[in-house]
Amino acid sequence: MTIFAPSQENTQNGFIMSNIIDLKKGLNIPVSGVAAPKTRKVAVPGIVAVKPTDFRGLKPRLLVKEGDKVLAGSPVLADKESPDILFTSPVSGTVTEVVRGEKRKLLEVRIKADSEQKYLDFGIEDARNLDAGQIKSLLMKSGLWPAIIQRPYGIIANPDIRPKAIFVSAFSTAPLAADTEYALRDDFADIQTAINALGKLTDGRVHVSLNAANANGTPFHKLENVILHTFYGKHPAGNTGVQIHHISPIMKGETVWTVSPMMLAAIGRLLNTGRYDMSRLVAVTGPKAIEPAYVKAVCGLSMKDIAEFYDNSASDIRFISGDVLTGTNVGADGFLGFFDNQITLIKEGREHELLGWAKPFRTKQFSTSRTYFSWLTPKKTYEMDTNLHGGPRAFVMSDVYSKVLPMDIYPVHLIKACLAGDIDKMEQFGIYEVLEEDLALCEYVCPSKIEIQSILSDGIALMMKEMA
């Protein structure tokens, strides 16, 4: 990693200020099916779902029952630990089903949308005239407080804490990720409004990280009341966790908040219009997508509402809310997640390949090493599927993780500490700095097929339980 600092002083209160950071490690996965920059459909919501499972550590309390009428912005759930934090309906309509899992765990609240949408009015507000308490109150009652994520652990932000800073990544490097500028091309005024408001909630500043490929041409470059950072590099350069690590690493006892640009736009719309408007452009991507493009939709969108993007007769499609590395397999009957603006359609890899490892001339396979000849065609994309091409093996020490992780931590030692449940070692090796998305590439390149994200998730859950 290389930092190019400007001539002005580049540090203040432990933060690296307005710099260019060049990350040498990482990997872009060349999967086919990127969404064309056009909006192919405006999805009229049928059934949408509010999913408590989108939020780590949430203990939900149900506020509605089947048959209840709701408006867009009406409370549906509350947090048992913090009753003032509400989760609201993205549409107006009727609650049709409350879905529960094992031990009556609340999984979904399904709402049939009205043909004409009606919104609860929260009132138009000028962020310049609101204090921190008023901003928090508005976000909590509207259902937008859960859009703010707290690190360590990636949980809903604690409104009683003032973080040392708020971080925003203005680009994504995840496989087939939605183009942030295209998806938010009409929302920059709302984003600025949200930044003006959130700046009052921190003792530090709002830090926005830009992609070096077009740092001077992006509208994010014109944002006010922020500190800008520019990142060069492959995935995971767009991950907020990686950016925080190079701007101001999270130490024990410190707290930072993160917000996505999409959620900034929603917060800005709330202030500027008084509406809980969770509309967004969603990129429908992947090798199994027919004419990948964008859909205007809301969170909780049903996969059935994008039926024209895939072969309805096919039984070999995996429906992923999010990207192929970190997204959730929701199935054909599933729903788009609260934080997602990407749907990935990929083939279920059920085929067994005899002696596949012994075939060097595999032109349709991508290799992160030079096992195959994919390194000779760096611009080629591949119709990847879910096949692991092998099963779990012994967890051996190697440097394969460090080649794709641009962070100064020890991922192998951290994962082994998580497996052992050793809290001291987990702290020592960087548990406060990472979420599953930050180590997703390590799982992808792992020669032992270790489920690193799942192990890290268990480690974070243990930390939350023992360190509360």
DSSP string for residues in 252-288: TT--EEE--HHHHHHHHHHHHHS----EEEEEEESTT
Using CA atoms, how far apart are residues 135 and 133, in angstroms rounded to an integer?
A: 5
Tokens coding 388:
């692991």
Q: 3-state DSSP call for residue 20?
A: strand
Residue tagged 């962070």 (tokens): 407
**Mean predicted confidence (pLDDT) in 454-461:** 97
What lies within 8 Å, CB to CB, of 411 at 6+ separation is 401, 402, 405, 439, 442, 452
| Cα→Cα distances 120→115, 271, 357, Å | 16, 13, 58
- 199, 227 Cβ separation under 8 angstroms: no
394 confidence band (pLDDT: 50, 70, 90): confident
CA distance 187 to 268: 8
Type of residue at 73: G
The CB density around residue 417, as the number of other CB atoms within 10 Å, is: 22
Weakest mean pLDDT among 230-239, 325-334, 361-370, 431-440: 361-370
Mean pLDDT of the chain: 92
pTM: 0.93
**Structural domains in the chain, sorted by start:** 2-28+124-273 (3.40.50), 45-113 (2.40.50.100), 279-358 (3.10.20), 411-467 (no CATH)
Enter the tokens of residue 286. Answer: 């992947």
Tell me the C-alpha distance between 25 and 2, whole Å. Answer: 11
Residue 350: predicted pLDDT: 78
Residue 398's pLDDT is 79
Contact by Cβ (8 Å): 156, 146: yes
Q: Is the dihedral of CA 299, 304, 305, 311 positive or negative?
A: positive
- The 3-state DSSP class for residue 398 equals coil
Q: What percent of the chain has pLDDT over 90?
A: 82
Query: How confident is the model at residue 1, as a pLDDT?
Result: 52
Cβ pair 93, 70 in contact under 8 A:
yes
**351 vs 250, residue with greater confidence:** 250
Residues of the chain above pLDDT 70, percent: 94
**Banded pLDDT at 358 (limits 50, 70, 90):** low
pLDDT in tens, 273-301: 999 999 999 999 999 999 999 999 999 99
